[in-house]
Structure 1
Amino acid sequence: MRVTTKGQVTIPKGIRDRLGIKPGSEVEFVPRSDGKVELLRKGDGGDAAHKRSKSIRSWAERVRGTVDSDGMTPDEYYDWIRGPRDDLGPG
């Protein structure tokens, strides 16, 4: 896509159709820490699922790369976090 002198881009029709973007729809471009940008279709202001998704995505971007598992495997890390599971039988 090319950016016009006014800073505009055209969102391809396939993407507009998939996201339900129509003339007058509001969208948001969200920069990510990896240098990429996400295109989000904004809800009507009362769209709780959209707000929740945006909040979770924002939190995930802020904490990316901050967990230090000190070389533990995922199972070892889970046991360290919650303690060993005594509700599972041996083996």
Structure 2
Amino acid sequence: MTTLTITAKGQITLRRELLQFLGIAPGQQVEVNKLANGVLALQAVAPHGLEAFAGCLPPPNKALSLEEINTIIANGWAGQT
């Protein structure tokens, strides 16, 4: 069990081990639910929109030149795959 200290402003800081356990990264939001007997449940808010998409694809094997990218785009518009 981890003990946290409340600051004069009424804030707490979660230790790194707790953040890692919850899968929370800096800047991410958390949701707190009030349960019975003064218990709080804390969970990470699932990213949505562009945040959820960013980083979901593996990095490419090699970087493409602008010429290669333009060729791919032109072929796509022409209906060629």
TM-score by length of 1: 0.44
Rg (Cα) greater in structure: 2
